[in-house]
């Protein structure tokens, strides 16, 4: 019970997201990772099959999330994971958003990492991966989300003992 | 063999897309159609389960399409349909795009209609529905696409005898 709880916590810097660095946690969906197929009489490039949708039971569905824009430094005190399915976030504006993830350590999240997604990428968080909630820092805050809908408890939450403060490099 | 082929054709006006008007052809994915669920400690509204993904065999996958912006009036001379799966287009910029569709008439497209999608909507074209190719007229031209990937012939094309010219109201 500190009088200045905000003075506690860990500061981490969000790294620009890359497919390689993010691989332990899921997929970065971008046009750089596969060669395109030309379709529509040469007027469209198709980059196929970029996310690993991974569901147990239920079905894959599409929803919209309208999230409030967050201010930096971003204070994160809650991580969650979805044991029954992956969750893919597709920004519907040219937004920047934070993706905070952590490895599992015996049923609890280990040390958190933060990534900054920009430049027209979507992010698919792997099933059962600890992550922070959707945190756009620019754009409209509107995202399409592809995740599992069905019966069963698909949400596990873990409140951090000390918050994580995320900053970005200038 | 006309010397002035562009003088032939049918002109149609793209109507603003609405879920009701588009219902025979698929889903309009927007935040207006269902009440939201508040998630993430009140900082995000979730509008759940807005598209009817409909696949025969194969699997639902995610791809990116980078389409060239089209000029108006838009000339459409090719419709296609996908007998094995629905196809969902999610704009990743706040784009406007044309959605040209037609009813089936004995294995060929009947008269085409055009819709203008704007204001942060995605569009899911129902399985086996005749439609024009992705035709953004503003924005970045980048779309996430959720459709079927798998074996089997999932593309049927029909070249129109006379082109359709699509205009928008001022």
- Asked if residue A16 is part of any domain, the answer here is yes
What pLDDT band is residue A8 in, cutting at 50, 70 and 90?
A: confident
pLDDT in tens, chain B (170 residues): 444 545 688 999 999 999 999 999 999 999 998 999 999 999 999 999 999 999 999 999 999 999 999 999 999 999 999 999 999 999 999 989 999 999 999 999 999 999 999 989 999 999 999 999 999 999 999 999 999 999 999 999 999 999 999 999 87
CA distance A158 to chain B (A): 13
Distance between CA A117 and CA A136 in Å, rounded? 9
User: What's B31's domain CATH number?
Assistant: 2.60.120.480
Closest to B46 in 3D by CA, of B61, B35, B33, B54: B35
Q: What's residue A2's pLDDT?
A: 45
Taking only the tens place, the pLDDT of each residue in A48-105 is 999 999 999 999 999 999 999 999 999 999 999 999 999 999 999 998 999 999 999 9
Q: Which residue of A has its CA nearest to B64?
A: A47
- Asked if residue A3 is part of any domain, the answer here is no
Q: In which domain, by residue range, is A112 found?
A: 10-168
Q: CB of B128 within 8 A of CB of A128?
A: no
- Asked if residue B99 is part of any domain, the answer here is yes
C-alpha separations of B75 from B67, B69, B70, B164 in Å = 15, 13, 9, 6
- Asked if residue A27 is part of any domain, the answer here is yes
Q: Which residue of B has its CA nearest to A119?
A: B92
Residue B6, phi then psi, degrees to nearest 5: -70, -15
**Cβ A140–B53 below 8 Å, yes or no?**
no
CA distance A120 to chain B (A): 7
Out of B41, B146, B149, whose CB is closest to A62? Answer: B146
- Asked if residue B4 is part of any domain, the answer here is no
Distance between CA A91 and CA B14 in Å, rounded? 26
- Asked if residue B1 is part of any domain, the answer here is no
**Cβ A44–B50 below 8 Å, yes or no?**
no
Counted domains in chain A: 1
Q: What's residue B169's pLDDT?
A: 83
CA distance B81 to chain A (A): 13
Q: What's residue B16's pLDDT?
A: 96
Lowest pLDDT segment from A4-8, A9-13, B71-75, B116-120: A4-8
- Asked if residue B83 is part of any domain, the answer here is yes
CA distance A113 to chain B (A): 19
What pLDDT band is residue A167 in, cutting at 50, 70 and 90?
A: very high
Rg (CA), chain B: 17
- Asked if residue A2 is part of any domain, the answer here is no
* Residue from A44, A96, A124 to probe the interface with B (highest B Cβ count within 10 Å): A44
């Amino acid at each position: 019970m500190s009088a200045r709880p905000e003075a506690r916590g860990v500061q981490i810097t969000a790294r620009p997201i890359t497919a390689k660095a993010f691989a332990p946690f899921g997929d970065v969906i971008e046009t750089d990772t596969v060669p395109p197929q030309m379709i529509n009489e040469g007027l469209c490039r198709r980059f196929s099959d970029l996310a690993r949708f991974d569901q147990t039971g239920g079905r894959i569905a599409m929803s919209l999330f309208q999230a409030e824009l967050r201010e930096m430094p971003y204070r994160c005190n809650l991580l969650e994971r979805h044991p029954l399915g992956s969750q893919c976030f597709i920004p519907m504006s040219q937004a920047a958003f934070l993706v905070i993830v952590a490895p599992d350590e015996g049923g609890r999240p280990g040390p958190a990492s933060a990534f900054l997604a920009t430049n027209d990428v979507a992010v698919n968080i792997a099933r059962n991966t600890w992550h922070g909630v959707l945190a756009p820092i620019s754009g409209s805050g509107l995202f399409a989300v592809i995740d599992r809908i069905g019966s069963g408890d698909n949400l596990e939450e873990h409140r951090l003992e000390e918050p994580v403060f995320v900053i970005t490099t200038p």
